[in-house]
Structures are given as C-alpha cells and as structure tokens.
Amino acid sequence: MTREEAAEAQRIDRMIDIRFYIPKNESIPTDLRLYVGENYVEYERTANGFLFKTLIDDEDEAMKVVQQIVNKMKSEHDESEHGVSWRTISLAVVPQEERYKIGTWVEWKYRVRDSY
C-alpha cells in the first residue's frame, strides 16, 4: 500500500461507520455481525476469504457496503514496513436461487502478500 493509498484509507476510515453488533441476549457472541451505517451484515470465514451476507436487495448497494468493510480490513492488516499486504483476488456477488434469496451475498477472496 502506497503512502497515498494509506492516507486515503485513513480519510475514508474516519467517514465510515462500521461497528460490531452483539445482541443483548448473548453474553458470548457466536456469529460475526456488523452494522455498516444502518445496514446489517453477517459474515463468515471461508477457505480463501470471507462471505458477507447482507439484507440489501440491490446488488450494487450491497457491493458498496462490503467494499467499505474490505477496505477497512485491508487497511488494518497491511504492514507496509514489513511488506505484508492483503491482495484481493476477487470480490463478487454469490448467485442464490431466486425463490430462497434474502438480500445479497458477496464473497471476497484474497491472498496475503508477505515479504518477510
């Protein structure tokens, strides 16, 4: 990540409202849940990345929300002084059978570039 990219990520980071959501009836959360602004997102680890499950029907809007999460995750885990960075392989909407579809699912696949 270049110095300009890092500065832009920090600027965007200050504008984005991403917060963990822990229901009041759970003392130990078992699901990974976030609110991005007013949008509820569940996510889980996959073999090569993360699967984000939104309740947003519009795929473009869901992609924008997930892109904010991805940018935040990448900016927090990049260690430019050691050459470590998270590189996106793909970010795509996961097709769902229409009759069972609730919201939009987006899968982010990445690899870690490490130069240690």
Higher per-residue pLDDT: 3 or 27: 3
- What is d(CA 32, CA 72) in angstroms, rounded to the nearest whole number? 16
pLDDT at 9 over 80: no
- Check: CB of residue 21 under 8 Å from CB of residue 54: no
Mind listing the pLDDT tens digit for each residue in 37-85?
889 899 998 988 999 999 999 999 999 999 999 988 888 777 666 667 7
- Tallying the residues shown for the chain, one arrives at 116
- Confidence (pLDDT) at 4: 72
Per residue in 10-39, pLDDT (tens digit) is: 665 555 677 666 667 666 666 788 888 889
Rg value, the chain, Cα: 15
pLDDT band at 105 (very low <50, low <70, confident <90, very high): very high
